[in-house]
Amino acid sequence: MRRVFFGLEVPFSVKQRLLAVQTDINGARWQGRHQLHLTLAFIGSVDDAGLETLRRAACRVTAPAFELRVQGLGVFGKPDHPRNLWAGISPEHPVIELHERLTDSLSGAGFAQEKRRFRPHITVSRFRRNAGSVASLLDAHGSTGFGAMAVTEFVLYESTPGAGGSVYTVLDRFPLTPSLDETDPSGQ
């Protein structure tokens, strides 16, 4: 069985800027460079047949390529007792639309989806119960721009537990439809 999810890769330049906000906070489990991503749909454990069904469902998803800005830090939980520190993205609409198209295709293939509302973000740190406050980080980086990312595909990741946190491996890539200016340089 493989533990898998769909997501968006984050470019190296954005990762470097996100990694630069790391500081000494009690209970923080900072994400490493190879762990930073944006989750579109968490699946869980699947066997080989399920993995092939996932691939076929993902191949049916059509959506246009788009650009995102990674901007600002936010928190799940309270700043004094955080559960997760995350970086926001803008605009959210194309990510939400891609998520909906993907989850519709996955549901049609028999994969149940999470009930909670989808909030696109990039997890920067997870926290243990004895977490320290992130209020100063939110004050310092609440609107910081971390860079842009061109989203031309989404990926199927495998998540493998490791000593330094989960290791994410790309199993497959699913291209999005190029925008008009990418397909015809003359704009006609």
The residue from 37, 81, 93, 141 that is catalytic is 37
- Asked whether 162 and 3 are in contact (CB, 8 A), the reply is no
Q: How far apart are CA 33 and CA 13, in angstroms?
A: 10
Active site residue 81: no
The residue from 34, 93, 121, 141 that is catalytic is 121
- The one-character DSSP state at 187 is -
Q: How far apart are CA 143 and CA 145, in angstroms?
A: 6
Tokens for 78?
């309270």
Q: Which residues contact 157 (CB under 8 A, 6 or more apart)?
A: 4, 5, 6, 7, 37, 168, 169, 170, 171
Instruction: Tell me the longest C-alpha to C-alpha distance in the chain.
Output: 58
- Asked whether 34 and 166 are in contact (CB, 8 A), the reply is no
Active site residue 121: yes
As annotated, the active-site residues are 37, 121
